[in-house]
Amino acid sequence: MITLEPIARPGAPLARRNPVAKLAAAMLFAFPLMTTLDPVTPAIAIAVELAVLPLFGVHPGLLARRAWPLLAAAGGILVTLVLFAADRSGQVLLDAGPIVVTSGVLVTALGLVLRLFAVALPGVIVFATTDPTDLADALVQNARVPARFAIGALAAFRLVPLLGQEWQMITVARRARGVEAGRNPVARLRLFVSTAFTLLVGAIRRGTRLAVAMDARGFDSGVPRTFAPPPAVRRGRLAARRRRATATAGPHWP
């Protein structure tokens, strides 16, 4: 099941920082890594990220559950380079007809995989330790993002866990009707595409209903909205929550 709630300890020193400050720090740390090609630099960056992980109050096992798509992407990179890499320099490690694996291919694949993890892990850590509502508030108040965009993104972010639940419901419903692929890989691929299309149609319909409901509640009225006092970058998320609890939320009506 997909979940996007924070998984950090409430008292962790870096988990309580301002969401915009954490997001900016993650971008500044990850952006230079996009220009590196050697595997040493991203490996050092990953070591640094894992070293500061206790300061965010995140257990490595929980972080691995959030970062499992990175493992799938890493496997795709490895397979793609092994099959289609043009540079086959270095010592030949495996020669199986059209598949030739050399040391140069493995070094290139290792560098790309490590760079993928080094660039993506800071973002995963930030979102794993940030409440979505706090992030939307901080984007509007500190980063001056339009409220319409921030609140719409927050609403969409909150609906992401429903995708996993609906996927399971569609799969169970089709299985109850006798629609199964069995061991046929072609039938499995066809069933996967059909289920994904059904999920996409349902997501578009839900998004349309949500947009109409938000417009009916005045989210697109153009009237200035009221917010809690802007949280200082040096203060933690708990303090921002206390301020928001005492503030008036929703559109400001004259």
Q: Which of 84-98, 103-117, 221-235, 239-253 is predicted most confidently?
A: 103-117
**Given this model, what pLDDT does residue 210 score?**
84
pLDDT digits (tens, 9 = 90+) for 17-74: 888 888 888 888 888 888 877 888 889 999 998 888 888 888 888 788 878 888 888 8
Look at residues 16, 87, 48 and name the one whose alpha carbon lies nearest to residue 236. 16
Are both 208 and 110 inside the same structural domain?
no
Are both 139 and 91 inside the same structural domain?
no
Q: Quickly state the pLDDT bin for 132 (edges 50, 70, 90).
A: confident
Which residue has better confidence, 254 or 162? 162
pLDDT digits (tens, 9 = 90+) for 170-204: 888 888 888 787 778 888 888 888 888 998 998 88
Q: CA 75, 76, 81, 84 torsion: positive or negative?
A: positive
Residue 183 lies in a domain: yes
The residue segments making up the domain with residue 67 are 19-130
Count of structural domains, the chain: 2
Are both 43 and 81 inside the same structural domain?
yes
Query: What is the distance between the alpha carbons of residues 154 and 127, in angstroms, rounded to a whole number?
Result: 12
- Given a cut of 80, whether residue 162 has pLDDT beyond it is yes
Domain boundary among 101, 130, 159: 130
Across residues 88-109, what is the average pLDDT? 76
- Given a cut of 80, whether residue 1 has pLDDT beyond it is no
Query: What is the distance between the alpha carbons of residues 24 and 38, in angstroms, rounded to a whole number?
Result: 25
Residue 250 lies in a domain: no
Residue 122 lies in a domain: yes
Domain boundary among 80, 110, 130: 130
Are both 23 and 117 inside the same structural domain?
yes
As a residue count, the chain comes to 254
List, as one string, the DSSP characters of the chain.
----S--S-TT-TTTTS-HHHHHHHHHHHHGGGGG--SSHHHHHHHHHHHHSHHHHT--HHHHHHHTHHHHHHHHHHHHHHHHH-S---S-EEEEETTEEEEHHHHHHHHHHHHHHHHHHHHHHHHHHTS-HHHHHHHHHHTS---HHHHHHHHHHHHHHHHHHHHHHHHHHHHHHTT---TT-HHHHHHHHHHHHHHHHHHHHHHHHHHHHHHHHTTTTS-PPBP-PPPPPTTS-HHHHHHHHHTSPPSBPP-
Query: What is the distance between the alpha carbons of residues 221 and 199, in angstroms, rounded to a whole number?
Result: 31
Residue 14 lies in a domain: no
Which residue has better confidence, 21 or 81? 21
Q: Quickly state the pLDDT bin for 5 (edges 50, 70, 90).
A: low
Are both 159 and 102 inside the same structural domain?
no
Are both 103 and 151 inside the same structural domain?
no
Are both 151 and 64 inside the same structural domain?
no
Query: What is the distance between the alpha carbons of residues 214 and 9, in angstroms, rounded to a whole number?
Result: 33
Are both 200 and 125 inside the same structural domain?
no
- Given a cut of 50, whether residue 236 has pLDDT beyond it is no
Residue 217 lies in a domain: yes
Bridge partners, 225 (sequence order): 251
Are both 38 and 105 inside the same structural domain?
yes
Residue 72, token pair as written in the block: 């799938």
- Given a cut of 50, whether residue 252 has pLDDT beyond it is no
Look at residues 134, 136, 126 and name the one whose alpha carbon lies nearest to residue 56. 126
* CB contact at 8 A, 142 and 231: yes
Are both 121 and 140 inside the same structural domain?
no
Q: Quickly state the pLDDT bin for 3 (edges 50, 70, 90).
A: low
What separation in angstroms does the CA of 7 have from each of 75, 126, 173?
Answer: 26, 11, 32
List the single range of 82-86, 117-121, 163-167, 189-193 with lowest mean pLDDT: 82-86
**Given this model, what pLDDT does residue 6 score?**
67
Share the mean pLDDT of the chain. 78
Are both 43 and 56 inside the same structural domain?
yes
Are both 24 and 100 inside the same structural domain?
yes
Domain boundary among 112, 130, 148: 130
Residue 248 lies in a domain: no
Across residues 99-125, what is the average pLDDT? 84
